Structure 1
Amino acid sequence: MKPNYSIFIFKLLLLQYLSSQLCLSQDFDFFYFVQQWPGAYCDTKQQRCCYPKTGRPAADFGIHGLWPNYKDGSYPSNCDHNSVFDRTQISDVLSSMEKHWPSLSCPSSNGLRFWSHEWEKHGTCSESELDQREYFEAAVKLKEKANLLKLLNNAGIEANDEFYSLESVRNAIEEGIGFTPGIQCNKNSAGNAQLYQIYLCVDTSGSQFIKCPILPKPKCPSTIQFPKF
């Protein structure tokens, strides 16, 4: 008997459709809200930075992303290939994004490539809770809510190339936010470990900071540099 290729193709397409729907309907447990210090991004051997076309960003933490995560440390990604980044959906928060979510990658850009990547890799996995506009708006509001630089400065920790204890950095943020942050370091061109990214955990509505179910594995020594920008 000759194989019925039409039935085979139908089953294959049905399987692909069901798989895509399963991915779209995946729940997640919390968000990582990740902010990045531009001075630490720009002074490593591995990469160089380019200022956005809007000009040099302020010497402040910038948003890296709002990332859906599971409590076991894994995370979903690229959950909806049909949901592409659409600038028209974020027109009313665009100026805030340019301020709080600048792209420092090269070549210089207006941020659209960066935001598109973040939406398509991470944002599409939160569509059960937030549409595209709500996703970006939530990130901007969280940035305004968590003024990390102010919290550190109030504790005497400044971006002046000086070294500070990792514990003092963690404690300053925990005191201001109410929850223990995750801290990621990288190394500058001189090989010094420096403050690079700060992870805060957020509930699935994207509005409230929560205790982190799991924190990224620390890769920082006990003393770290807070570089100038």
Structure 2
Amino acid sequence: MRGIIIVSFLILQSLVASSSQSAPDFNFFYWVNYWPGAICDSQKGCCPPTIRDTASDFMIHGLWPQFINGTWPAFCDQTNLFDISKISDLISKMERKWAEWGVWTCPSNETNLWEHEWNKHGTCVQSVFDHHSYFQTNLKFKQKLNLLNILKQKGIKPNDGFYGLDEIKNAIKCVIGFAPGIECNEDVKGNKQLFQFYICLDNYAKEFVECPYVPDKSCASKIKFPKFPKKRFSLSESLSAMSSVSTT
């Protein structure tokens, strides 16, 4: 009997050790989405040459591991860099939900953004995700949480109107149970406008959680929700705009 107890204890100890070895060494995730209209309407932004019919929506920026002290890991594994062949079955959805709208380049190039997100953030979360599951998890939460519809249901619409910062936060909180962080940029007139939502997930990206700290950046008490532009830009217009923009 004693021998059975000892063996059982050793098995349990082994399982605990194995579990602890694979546990994430970061504390939580930011799941970040941005509003394309805030790029098209900013001093430093430009829009792609063709505006897709499905584009009037928030777009995924990425899933970012974070520490509770306000820092984050980055570029953790240079031996496992982005490989688009590993997500070939997800590309059509990603093109609609995770497009690059001039954040880094204009005209847009989604592949550059996907590559950047995996190389910087995905390589640091391989205790939780491989290539495919990292991108698939972003799409899963995008399917689960329609930010634009949530805002519209509370009368908050992309109409160049100004809405209370707390009003916007509370609209999201009513659905997920926790207030998001909000990042603002400025339009050409210097008005603060809604740019990005930071939504916090646990360190396995399973559930929404309270943000350990809220990254409210450069927002006023009332912020603009810019329209999504109806104009379709020509390639020459986009290139002209790009030449006047200082990129980082």
Identify the TM-score tier after normalising by the shorter chain. Answer: 0.7 to 0.9
* Cα distance between partner residues in 2 of 1:56 and 1:32: 28
Aligned-residue offset at 1:176:
1.2
Q: Is the 8 A contact 2:30 2:64 kept in 1?
A: yes
Paired residues for 1:75-224 under 5 Å: 75-105=72-102, 106-224=105-223
Percentage of identical aligned residues: 46
Q: Quote the Cα distance in structure 2 between the aligned partners of 1:62 and 1:119.
A: 16
Aligned AA (1:205): Y
The runs of 4+ residues in structure 1 deviating greater than 6 Å are none
Which structure 2 residue ranges, 5 or more long, are not aligned? 1-22, 229-248
Residues 151-178 of structure 1, C-alpha deviations (whole Å, 9 max, x = no match): 1000000000011111110110110111
Q: CA RMSD in A?
A: 1.9
Summarize the Cα distance change of 1:95–1:165 in structure 2 as closer, same or farther, 3 Å threshold: same
Shift of 1:109: 4.1
Matched residue, 1:14: none
TM normalised by structure 2 equals: 0.78
2:11 maps to none
Secondary structure of the 2:132 match is helix
Q: How far apart, in 2, do the equivalents of 1:206 and 1:26 lie?
A: 11
- Matched residue of 2:88: which SS? helix
The aligned amino acid for 2:134 is Y
Pick one of 47, 50, 60 that aligns with 2:57: 60
Spell out, residue by residue over 1:7-61, the C-alpha distance to the aligned partner (whole angstroms, 9 max, x if none). xxxxxxxxxxxxxxxxxx9711111000000000111112213257x94652100
1:210 Cα deviation from its structure 2 partner:
1.1
Which runs of no fewer than 5 residues in structure 1 stay unpaired?
Answer: 1-24
- Number of residue pairs matched by the alignment: 205
Contact 2:183 2:196 survives alignment (8 Å): yes
Partner Cα distance (1:56, 1:109) in 2: 16
TM-score (normalised: structure 1): 0.84
Partner of 2:41: 43
